[in-house]
Amino acid sequence: MERIKSWIADRLDERPWWMNLLMAFSAFMAVVYMPWDMFVKPMAVDEEVWFGFILHGPWAKATEPLHWAIYALGAYGFWRMSPWMWPWAAVYALQVAIGMVVWPIVYLEGGTGLVLGLAATVPFGAIALALWNAGDLFDADNRPSLRDRYGSWALVTGASAGIGAEFARRLAADGVSCVLVARRREKLEELAAELVRHHGVETRVVEADLSTTTGPELVADAVSDLEIAILVNNAGVGYVGRFDGQDTGRLREMVQLNCTAPVVLTSRLLPAMVERRRGAVIVVASVAGRQPLPLHAVYSATKAFDLLFGEALWVELGESGVDVISLQPGPVATEFEAVAGEQRGDAGIEQSAEAVVQSCFESLGRQPSVPTSWVNWVRANANRAVPRSVMALLAGLAMEAQTPEDKR
């Protein structure tokens, strides 16, 4: 219980007291009042106010979902201190302040309406001004650099392309020197030269195959002279098709790469972070780990392992000074699909590798795991509303469209 209290206190300390009150008010409106307003209050007596003008009955009901969305986004945005909250939180508060002037002037007679309107607008105008002036609090770039927060060296697995390469670029931009790990030395050396040229950091290239039993130990031994402050367990691979038609050796290598390698590397590098009382462990899981994924059965199981592994470490290390996060990306514009043998599926909703990495560093130190987009959040939480059997069947239909016919 003390750990939970400490975590809540730390999260509340991220914003001033008055902003915590706005967050609590937004959460109350989104969770309690607006659902009651939409689904319980009789339409005949329903009213909504926009810009000081009152809407009645069906017009009020029609606009209530928008009000609910505003308060839900407000609660979420304050909790995450999301950059998009500025300037929109201030703009919405200004709209309320204007409405507080308009409403009594329109609906009350004489000078009383004007006096009450001006008096009522003062506190809401003050809130709008405070939110406008709090822009720096919502700016992720104003947080201390990754080097200042955690230390001077990071190790990134799967760094030769895609998400891993973007992690290395983002770390180097913050002054963190990088150990780059993958099988393709030529690609790693090209990236290392880029990081040195653009950011002036140190680099070290470690060519290793983490899908072997010796690979993770080789990597840990290769950096034993460095203080690794940030570990990015990014290397991973998929393998699409019916399980009974897949190669046993390739399945074994996937489990080794996706599950065993992060465990071994974290086990070897984490104790020094705990001793220094600062560091970060990033586990690249997947939204695929939130439900069974037919035709990608072992892959989704390995990503469920990664997700739960990272979330459990987040609790264990809560008082250690070491931050842990599990990422849950969905389709990303990388070479993953080609290597896994998939047909191109969700091109319309693919994220860039840069967006995935940005989402990670916005959330690192604030929460145990994060779906890296709104679409991925919906996917990740759909199984809360749908029976698991139905979810598995729906996932199977989706995967059929991405699986070559000869592998179904």
Structure confidence by residue, pLDDT tens digits, 230-269: 999 999 999 899 999 999 999 999 999 999 999 999 999 9
Strands 177-182, 153-157: pairing kind: parallel
Report pLDDT for 11: 86
Examine the fold and report which residue of 91, 119, 140 is the final residue of a domain before the chain moves on: 140
- Residue 341 pLDDT more than 70? no
Residues 152, 193 within the same domain:
yes
E-strand ranges in 265-308 read: 279-284
Residues 278, 132 within the same domain:
no
Tokens 């000869």 -> residue: 406
Report pLDDT for 103: 80
148 Ramachandran zone, left/alpha/beta (phi>0; psi -120 to 50) = alpha
More confident residue, 399 or 109: 399
The answer to which of 8-17, 99-108, 361-370 has the lowest mean pLDDT is 99-108
Predicted TM-score (pTM) of this structure? 0.84
Do 228 and 272 contact (CB within 8 A), yes or no?
yes
Distance CA 326, CA 136 (A): 27
- Residue 91 pLDDT more than 60? yes
Rounded to an integer, what is the distance from CA 177 to the centroid of its chain?
24
CB-based contacts of 371, cutoff 8 Å, min separation 6: 287, 328, 329, 330, 377, 379, 380
Residues 356, 227 within the same domain:
yes
**Residue 373 belongs to a domain with what CATH number?**
3.40.50.720
Averaged pLDDT score across all residues of the chain: 91
- Compute the average pLDDT of residues 61-69: 94
Read off φ and ψ for residue 141, nearest 5 degrees. Answer: -70, -15
Residues 131, 206 within the same domain:
no
Res. 357 pLDDT band, cuts 50 70 90: very high
Residues 184, 238 within the same domain:
yes
Other Cβ atoms closer than 10 A to 387: 9
DSSP H stretches of helix in 29-109: 34-39, 57-80, 85-107
Q: How many domains does the chain have?
A: 2
Res. 101 pLDDT band, cuts 50 70 90: confident
Residues 20, 152 within the same domain:
no
- Residue 46 pLDDT more than 60? yes
- Residue 348 pLDDT more than 90? no
Distance CA 164, CA 205 (A): 13
The four Cα atoms 182, 186, 192, 196 give a dihedral, to 10 degrees, of: 180
- Residue 110 pLDDT more than 80? no
In tens, the pLDDT along 372-397 reads 888 888 888 887 888 889 888 888 88
Examine the fold and report which residue of 117, 140, 163 is the final residue of a domain before the chain moves on: 140
Residues 374, 395 within the same domain:
yes
Give the H or E element holding residue 180: strand 177-182
Type of residue at 393 = L
Residues 136, 163 within the same domain:
no
Residues 379, 393 within the same domain:
yes
Expressed as residue numbers, the domain containing 172 is: 145-407
Examine the fold and report which residue of 72, 107, 140 is the final residue of a domain before the chain moves on: 140
Report pLDDT for 388: 86
Do 135 and 85 contact (CB within 8 A), yes or no?
no
Which candidate, 280, 407, 286, 277, places its Cα nearest to that of 342? 407
Residues 131, 175 within the same domain:
no
Residues 168, 231 within the same domain:
yes
The answer to which of 79-88, 105-114, 133-142, 326-335 has the lowest mean pLDDT is 105-114
Report pLDDT for 335: 65
- Compute the average pLDDT of residues 272-295: 95
Report pLDDT for 345: 57
Which candidate, 23, 35, 31, places its Cα nearest to that of 76? 23
Catalytic residue numbers read 299, 303
Residues 69, 122 within the same domain:
yes
